[in-house]
Chains A and B, each alone.
Chain A
Amino acid sequence: MRSIFGKGLTVAPLLLAVALAGCAAEPGKPTQAAKAKPSDFSEWPCMSYTLACGKIPTRKPVTQALVGPLNGDPVRGQALANERSKGNCVACHLLKGAEQPGSKGPDLTAYGTWGRSDAEIYALVYDMRSRNPDTVMPPAGANQILTDQELRDVIAFLQSSK
């Protein structure tokens, strides 16, 4: 068995991981401490058999209508889509200008050419379960991951992706 791990090979992944761990803080991004109120997420459904969060119902799928004109800012939207603590859309999707994009969701780099209406995209990002109950996509609107204005900004960014 020794043969599989040369001395160098054993140490290299550890050293690499130590180096990468240092990057986890994401220089330039706001830290947890800088935010208003850190949450322990107990206001959302949890696995506990006894705590109150174990009895909090999951929010049911909704088809949310877009009210009025979109009025979104694509530049802000792009930042929100990349931001880990916000949209984090990049975790699963390939988006324009994405760093470390994911591969689960569809490639959205040209989403603006797909001919979808603002209202349709708004409803899907608000809660994808309205179209696919088995989706892994978090309901960004229904579960308050993004505010109404933030959703509008993200959709403006998606529509501008051509």
Chain B
Amino acid sequence: MAGTHHFSLTRLALATLCAVAVNTQAADAVYREAFPRVAIDPSRGVAGGGDADFGATLQYWQDDQALEKSKPWIGNPEHEWKLNWKFMDLDHTDDMHPGYLALEQGEKLFKFWAKREPAFRTCLGEGKTDFKGLAAGYPKYDPKLKKIMTVESRVEHCAKTALWEDFKQGSPANNQISLYFKSLSTNMPIKVDTSSTEIMDSYRRGEKLFYTKVGQYNFSCASCHTTTGLLGQRFRGQVPTSPFADAAHFPTYRVGLGDIESLQQRFMRCNLQARTKGLPPGDPAYTDLEVFYTVLSNDYPVSVPSAR
């Protein structure tokens, strides 16, 4: 009797396992196409932007010297795209642009709340009260929260827990405080921790999203941002540029919008332009994409406030 009982339990367990396996297979079986993949070595960071698959443009914008040499191309429709818009990183100058107004606003907001609730400061700094250089390590895995945190999700989290306020990602308050937090790492090289398993798992998911075709146009990010696709080609009035070092200048002042915009808001706008459902900033898919993008900016300095 006992033997039979044992046997039936084993069968039940096997049957359950099979059912789970079939379900997983069904979920994975959703038909998707991928744009041809390029081998990216994440340990190279922004240096990968020198590869032909991404237009080999790094040489023209990698530092101030290179930019200075490439300056004559500004405004030239044939060559301007090779500068990857880095001449719009106006953090180098004393010249005013609206990005500075947002930064000022962010500093005011932060100081107001940090004075009222000192816990807001310690939460943002994870115990540290001096924020210098901290933003350069984002996105990062937070073992206490068991989550990948971006600067924006940290601001949202700390507003919730220390202030009982809703600074949702993509809101003006969140963007302004995030911009202020990032500005305290300006000119410091981005160092996303690629030795972290959680970060690399997220990177791989983000990389997969980068190549997966979605939307009515059946476009992937790579359709526009690799040379197999539209990178360096005229695309209506624009020329798509390299994804390398893009994460460095967000949140950025968008001239066409008249407002600052986070990287994930940019993803949302990009998706909509390619006739794909836009996801809310903070969505796990966008967080993975941000991790991928920021690893492609590793070793490149944080460059805020900027304008695009």
A101, B30: Cβ atoms closer than 8 Å: no
Q: Say whether B64 contacts A4, CB under 8 Å.
A: yes
Report whether A101 and B276 are in contact in the complex, using a CB–CB cutoff of 8 Å. no
CB distance from B115 to the nearest CB of A (A): 34
Is A91 at the interface (CB under 8 A from chain B)?
yes
- Size class of the contact patch on chain A: 35 or more
Residue of A whose beta carbon sits closest to that of B239: A103
B interface residues, tally (CB under 8 Å): 54
Q: How far is the CB of B34 from chain A (nearest CB, A)?
A: 9
Residues 97-154 of B at the A interface (beta carbon under 8 Å): 97
* A24, B278: Cα distance in complex, Å: 21
**Bound: A18/B175 CA distance, A:** 21
The answer, among B74, B219, B277, B285, for a CB contact under 8 Å with A13, is B74
Q: Is the CB of A44 within 8 A of B276?
A: yes
Cβ-based interface call for A14 (8 A): yes
- Chain A proximity mask over B35-51: 1 for CB below 8 Å, otherwise 0: 11000000000000000
Nearest CB of B to A63, in Å: 16
Q: Is B230 an interface residue (CB 8 A)?
A: yes
Residues 56-98 of A, flagged 1 when their CB comes within 8 A of B and 0 if not, give 1110100000000000000000000000100010111000000
Residue A11 is within 8 A (CB to CB) of chain B in the complex: yes
Tell me which residues from 31 to 83 in chain B have a Cβ below 8 Å from any Cβ of chain A: 31-33, 35-36, 64, 67-68, 71, 74-75
Q: Are B68 and A3 in contact (CB under 8 A)?
A: yes
Map CB proximity to A onto B273-287 as digits: 1 under 8 Å, 0 otherwise: 001111100011110
Distance of A91 Cα from B273 Cα, bound (Å): 13
B11 is an interface residue with CB less than 8 A from chain A: no
- The verdict on A47 contacting B214 (CB below 8 Å), with A24-B256, A92-B230, A92-B235 known, is yes
Residue in A closest to B64 when the chains form the complex, CB atoms: A1
Listed stretches A106-114, A136-144, A154-162; interface member: A136-144
Is A10 interfacial (CB 8 A cutoff)? yes
A10 and B97 alpha carbons, distance in the complex (Å):
9
Contacts of B36 on A, CB cut-off 8 Å? 134
A57 touching B30 in the complex, CB below 8 Å, given contacts A5-B92, A5-B95, A11-B95: yes
Greatest chain A CB density within 10 A among B33, B216, B283 is at B216
How far apart are B61's CB and chain A's nearest CB, in angstroms?
A: 11
- Please, how many angstroms separate the alpha-carbon atoms of A152 and B68 in the complex? 51
CA distance A13 to B97 in the complex (A): 11
Q: By the criterion CB–CB under 8 Å, are B33 and A44 in contact?
A: no
Is the beta-carbon distance between B217 and A17 smaller than 8 angstroms?
A: no
Answer whether A145 and B307 are a contact pair too, CB < 8 Å, given A10-B97, A46-B276, A136-B223. Answer: no
Task: Determine the distance from Cα of A37 to Cα of B234 in the docked complex, in whole angstroms.
Answer: 31
B279 touches A46 (CB 8 A): yes
Contact assessment for B215 and A41 in the assembled complex, using a CB-CB cutoff below 8 Å: yes
**30 A-B pairs (CB sep. < 8 Å):** A1-B92, A2-B93, A2-B94, A4-B64, A4-B71, A5-B87, A11-B95, A13-B87, A14-B255, A18-B255, A24-B256, A42-B277, A44-B275, A45-B215, A45-B276, A46-B276, A46-B279, A49-B285, A84-B236, A90-B236, A91-B235, A92-B230, A92-B233, A101-B234, A104-B235, A134-B228, A136-B219, A136-B230, A138-B217, A138-B218
Which of B's residues lie within 8 Å of A, judged by CB? 27, 30-33, 35-36, 64, 67-68, 71, 74-75, 87-88, 90, 92-95, 97, 209, 212-219, 223, 228-230, 233-237, 255-256, 271-272, 275-279, 283-286, 289, 307
